[in-house]
């Protein structure tokens, strides 16, 4: 009799344990994390396909985004909408990755033909030889992105655009955004930095800019604004907090693209101010 009672108790306990284990597994799956992934597209399009040796436009796209961990992961989808908006310069958002990357590709193809086809057809009509067709008819675009976790799980997103469209030289620039992991929205300067802190923050950036200028020019003599001016830096603008910055794990990194604070030949400037120095100038939510 006792043996039968123990057997029944054991069966009940096993059932309870099995139910609890299944519940834990489902909870773990529901509380999963999205995976960082990417989609690429490479295209070479002829300006006028029926013409031999037609100029071409080469397009390379590499869009990095989040793969939601479940059908209910609405936050990752909101984040992806912000990523698409950043990647497409505000023109596209809320699409599937495949539709999005194809839409971006088609936009560049359409722009290429819209900009140049009528001029090329005029050259063909005027019987300009293939050897004399200007090289600036050949375009090249490369848009790549990088997604990573920064401070307090804030998403750091970097989009880099290379463009060769027949000017004096190609150009490359970056667009950086920080994305709230809870809302999926971009964090603006006003939301990140304390009010009336621009002068103090600029002084911290200035120290990093001076160090970087000394490093690039292989000197240690630059210690003032006059020295930076002599090196061709900040000749046409005062120092400011750029819209491009990232809340990384070790500090805040500020991006100044080519031409923003220095000539093209000096490239861009990526200047990191450690949190130990800039912490007091961040909004309260960034301390958490």
Order the strands of the 269-274 sheet from edge to edge. Answer: 245-247, 251-256, 269-274
Q: What is the pLDDT of residue 40?
A: 98
What 3-state DSSP class applies to 46?
Answer: strand
- For the chain, the average pLDDT equals 89
* Count of other CB atoms within 10 angstroms of residue 254: 25
Residues 227 and 236 sit within 8 Å (Cβ to Cβ):
no
Query: How far is Cα 2 from Cα 8, in angstroms, rounded to an integer?
Result: 10
Query: How far is Cα 273 from Cα 250, in angstroms, rounded to an integer?
Result: 9
Query: What's the mean pLDDT in 128-137?
Result: 90
Residue linked to tokens 């907090």: 241
Query: How far is Cα 129 from Cα 69, in angstroms, rounded to an integer?
Result: 56
CA distances in angstroms from 158 to 77, 151, 174, 275, listed in the order given? 18, 15, 7, 20
Query: How far is Cα 182 from Cα 102, in angstroms, rounded to an integer?
Result: 28
For 21-31, write each residue's pLDDT tens digit: 333 333 333 45
Please provide residue 20's backbone torsions phi and psi, each rounded to the nearest 5 degrees: -65, -40
Residues 119 and 223 sit within 8 Å (Cβ to Cβ):
no
CA distances in angstroms from 2 to 7, 8, 11, 14, listed in the order given? 9, 10, 14, 18
Radius of gyration of the chain (CA): 27
Band of residue 288 on the pLDDT scale cut at 50, 70, 90: low
Q: Class for domain 190-287, per CATH?
A: alpha beta
* Count of other CB atoms within 10 angstroms of residue 231: 20
Residue 250 has pLDDT above 80, yes or no: yes
Residue linked to tokens 């994305």: 179
- pTM comes to 0.86
Residue 163 has pLDDT above 50, yes or no: yes
CATH architecture of 35-187: 2-Layer Sandwich (3.30)
Q: What is the pLDDT of residue 14?
A: 37
Sign of the Cα torsion 104, 106, 110, 113 reads positive
Query: What's the mean pLDDT in 81-104?
Result: 98
Let me know if 161 is exposed, middle or buried by CB neighbors in 10 A (0-12, 13-18, 19+). Answer: middle
Residue 65 has pLDDT above 90, yes or no: yes
Query: What's the mean pLDDT in 249-266?
Result: 96
Phi-psi region of 53 (alpha: psi -120 to 50; beta: other; left: phi over 0): left
Band of residue 137 on the pLDDT scale cut at 50, 70, 90: very high
Query: How far is Cα 274 from Cα 282, in angstroms, rounded to an integer?
Result: 12
Residues 70 and 30 sit within 8 Å (Cβ to Cβ):
yes
174 closest CA partner among 149, 143, 139, 205: 143
């Amino acid at each position: 009799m006792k043996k039968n009672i123990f057997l029944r108790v054991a069966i009940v306990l096993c059932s309870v344990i099995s139910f609890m284990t299944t519940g834990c597994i489902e909870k773990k799956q529901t509380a999963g994390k999205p995976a960082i992934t990417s989609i690429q597209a490479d295209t070479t399009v002829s300006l006028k396909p029926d013409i031999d040796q037609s100029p071409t436009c080469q397009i390379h796209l590499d869009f990095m985004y989040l793969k939601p961990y479940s059908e209910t992961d609405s936050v990752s989808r909101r984040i992806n909408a912000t990523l698409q908006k950043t990647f497409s310069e505000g023109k596209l958002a809320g699409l599937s990755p495949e539709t999005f990357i194809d839409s971006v590709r088609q936009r560049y193809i359409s722009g290429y033909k819209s900009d140049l086809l009528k001029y090329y057809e005029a050259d063909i009509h005027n019987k300009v030889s293939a050897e004399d067709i200007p090289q600036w008819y050949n375009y090249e675009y490369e848009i790549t992105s990088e997604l990573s976790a920064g401070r307090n799980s804030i998403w750091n997103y970097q989009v880099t655009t290379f463009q060769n469209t027949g000017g004096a030289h190609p150009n490359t620039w970056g667009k950086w955004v920080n994305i709230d992991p809870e809302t999926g929205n971009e964090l603006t300067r006003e939301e990140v930095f304390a009010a009336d802190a621009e002068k103090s923050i600029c002084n911290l950036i200035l120290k990093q800019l001076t160090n970087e200028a000394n490093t690039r020019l292989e000197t240690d003599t630059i210690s003032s604004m006059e020295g930076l001016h002599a090196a061709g830096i900040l000749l046409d603008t005062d120092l400011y907090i750029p819209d491009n910055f990232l809340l990384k794990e070790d500090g805040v990194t500020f991006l100044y693209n080519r031409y923003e604070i220095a000539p093209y030949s000096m490239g861009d400037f990526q200047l990191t101010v450690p949190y130990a120095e800039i912490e007091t100038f961040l909004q309260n939510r960034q301390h958490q």
